Amino acid sequence: MKRLLVVAAALTLLFAGAPAQAQFDSVGSLNFPTSGAPEAQQHFLRGVAILHSFGWKQAIVEFQAAQQLDPDFAMAYWGETLCYNHPLFGNPDDESPRAVLQRLGATREERSAKAPTAREKVFLDAVETLWGEGEYNDRRVAYMEAMLRLAERFPNDDEVATFAAVATLSGARALDDRSFRYEILAGSLAVPVFQRNPNHPGAPHYTIHAFDDPIHAPLALPAALRYAEIAPSVAHARHMPTHIFIQHGMWDYVSDHNQIAYDVARDLWEPGDSVGDTVHPLDWGQYGDLQLGDYAKARTWIERLEMVHRESDGQARAASTLPLLNARYVVETEEWKVLPVTDDSPAAELLATGISAVKTGDLATAAQAEARLEALAESGGAANEIMYREVSAMVRLARGQGDLAVALMDEAMEFVVGMRLPNGAASPVKPPYELYGEILLELDRPAEAVTRFKTSLERMPGRARSLLGLARAAAASGDRVTATAQYEKLRSNWSGRDQLPGYQEASRFLQQSNDQ
């Protein structure tokens, strides 16, 4: 924290007397009038802009610089309180924002007295509720309700609207409401701000979060394309548009923007910092390159994560993501790899090992992976239940028990229905509808397989292995039109990867179709 204060002091000198728009360089722009001193207001505005992009570390520097210039600037403390917790995640750090409020004043009344306008008092009162006593999820819902009341009171205020939008997204997670009504409400607050100010960092960001599922993602594509350009200095802002790009199968965009996000995060990272902003783009970037058939780049993402893991002294985020990337690489490339099964084997690794063992004829190890996944499934979690049944179905298929394999996949589908729609890299790493389709193909039931692969692609558009599966199933069903379309899409995904067996298969089919 001492270092942040030193940097803040340096920024104070940098921005003193700067042009009015200087505080918005590389972070977007917005209008948020407050009662703060003019020089402090410049830091405040930049802090808010960065906060809208979840650039916590950078935003803290700006808010603390504003506090140094104007020690009673209530909104600068308000902004800093929002920098210590991701609004869409649980497990809060309550102590840091409460400590910030204590620096402003010893009591809620004393702090409120330093907010001279009615609008500022309501903003401050809302975070007093968020960081007050009681269960965190209850506080998140109360904060959402307070911000929605503020939005009704100030219907033409873009900052009220955007902060109400992200509060609503947070409240939806706290309530575990999967009806999409809160996401739609958040989008209805954010989209008009984006239309009025296409350079606003928060409006497109929260639009993306509001419509981050395969049904609503088309509504957010304009916001994603614009947000990709607004805040190049903030790692999360470079990553976030890929939530929508991935829903459209825009794999070049997924790879490129996560590469930039990783580079920005690496530039900002110092020993002792969280590696979250570094690990997240490594995860998603690898998925994009696997869909492109760029397996060499996919291995590079793993090597980078191994480096991050070492440099961060094994932070949990890096440690838990590394086996995920390794498992995903095996499943997507079909470069089968059987690892020893232990009590500590992560679920994704067990899934990849189980499938690899079946594919290589090592049914003893496959059975071990199945048993371990069954134990994990008994401890809870829909994803564990699905992965257990996926491996179990593959084992039954290998033993000639096709009907049991199908029954197990039907059971897996019941758990899929209870999960949220896909909004990122495939989870589990082998999508169940895709695997179901492959099993049905093995059983010479291509018409049924077509239905499963189509569902997989509705949930995850442009996914390479589902395109390949649908093409094969359609061809086996005699539907050459659908097969041709899917093979063409696959070749487009894998352009330049003519060494891949799937690419060669697609080329042969398309050539034969042209010759007929």
- What angle, rounded to 10 degrees, do the helices at 363-378 and 347-359 form? 150
Residue 202 within a domain = yes
Residue 443 within a domain = no
Q: If you average pLDDT over residues 159-178, what whole number do you get?
A: 96
Residue 141 within a domain = yes
Both 219 and 260 in a single domain? no
Domain end call among 430, 465, 488: 430
User: Which CATH number do you get for residue 90?
Assistant: 1.25.40
Q: What are the tokens at 267?
A: 């530039």
Per-residue model confidence as pLDDT tens digits over 114-124: 999 999 999 99
* CB-based contacts of 137, cutoff 8 Å, min separation 6: 90, 174, 175
371 close to 408: Cβ distance less than 8 angstroms: no
Q: What is the pLDDT of residue 88?
A: 94
Per-residue model confidence as pLDDT tens digits over 171-212: 999 999 888 999 999 999 999 999 999 999 999 999 999 999
Both 387 and 404 in a single domain? yes
Both 22 and 147 in a single domain? yes
Both 465 and 347 in a single domain? no
Residue 448 within a domain = no
Q: What is the pLDDT of residue 294?
A: 98
Domain end call among 228, 263, 292: 228
Residues of the chain by 3-state class (helix, strand, coil), percent to 5? 70, 0, 30
30 close to 201: Cβ distance less than 8 angstroms: yes
Q: CA 94, CA 99: separation in Å to the nearest integer? A: 9
On the question of pLDDT at 12 being above 60, the answer is no
Residue 240 within a domain = no
Residue 40 within a domain = yes
Both 296 and 318 in a single domain? yes
User: How many distinct structural domains can be found in the chain?
Assistant: 4
CA 456 from centre of chain: 19
Both 81 and 191 in a single domain? yes
Residue 32 Rama label (left phi>0; alpha psi -120 to 50; beta): beta
> What sections of 292-380 are H helices per DSSP?
295-311, 316-333, 347-359, 363-378
On the question of pLDDT at 8 being above 50, the answer is no
Q: If you average pLDDT over residues 86-90, what whole number do you get?
A: 93
* CB-based contacts of 478, cutoff 8 Å, min separation 6: none
Q: What is the pLDDT of residue 268?
A: 84
Q: CA 350, CA 356: separation in Å to the nearest integer? A: 10
- DSSP symbols for 253-317: HHHHHHHHHHHHHHHH--TTS--HHHHHHHHHHHHHHHHTT-HHHHHHHHHHHHHHHHHTTS-HH
Q: Which residues of 78-117 are buried (b: 16+ CB within 10 A; e: fewer)?
A: bbbbbbbbebeeeebeeebbeebbeebbeeeeebbebbee
> What sections of 154-213 are H helices per DSSP?
158-175, 181-196, 202-210
Question: Which amino acid is located at 134 in the chain?
Answer: G
| Tally of CB atoms within 10 A around 401 | 14
On the question of pLDDT at 19 being above 50, the answer is no
3-class DSSP state for residue 477? coil
Residue 235 within a domain = no
Both 223 and 343 in a single domain? no
Domain end call among 430, 461, 481: 430
Q: Which residues of 208-241 are buried (b: 16+ CB within 10 A; e: fewer)?
A: bbbbbbbebbebbbbbbebbbebbebbbbbbbbb
3-class DSSP state for residue 439? helix
Both 423 and 489 in a single domain? no
Q: CA 117, CA 47: separation in Å to the nearest integer? A: 20
The residue with tokens 């099964």 is 341
Q: Which structural domain range is residue 384 located in?
A: 336-430
Q: If you average pLDDT over residues 137-146, what whole number do you get?
A: 97
Q: CA 408, CA 101: separation in Å to the nearest integer? A: 54
Confidence of residue 156 (pLDDT cuts 50, 70, 90): very high
Residue 436 within a domain = no
On the question of pLDDT at 21 being above 60, the answer is no
Q: What is the pLDDT of residue 49?
A: 96
Q: What is the pTM of this model?
A: 0.90
Q: What is the pLDDT of residue 26?
A: 86
Confidence of residue 23 (pLDDT cuts 50, 70, 90): very low
Of the candidate ranges 73-87, 141-155, 416-430, the one whose mean pLDDT is the lowest: 416-430
Question: Which amino acid is located at 65 in the chain?
Answer: A
- Degrees, nearest 5: CA angle 104-108-114: 50
Both 459 and 358 in a single domain? no
Per-residue model confidence as pLDDT tens digits over 29-60: 999 999 999 999 999 999 999 999 999 999 99
Q: What is the pLDDT of residue 79?
A: 98
Both 123 and 190 in a single domain? yes
Q: CA 415, CA 437: separation in Å to the nearest integer? A: 17
Per-residue model confidence as pLDDT tens digits over 336-385: 999 999 999 999 999 999 999 999 999 999 999 999 999 999 998 999 99
Both 51 and 188 in a single domain? yes
Q: What is the pLDDT of residue 336?
A: 98
On the question of pLDDT at 270 being above 50, the answer is yes
Both 96 and 189 in a single domain? yes
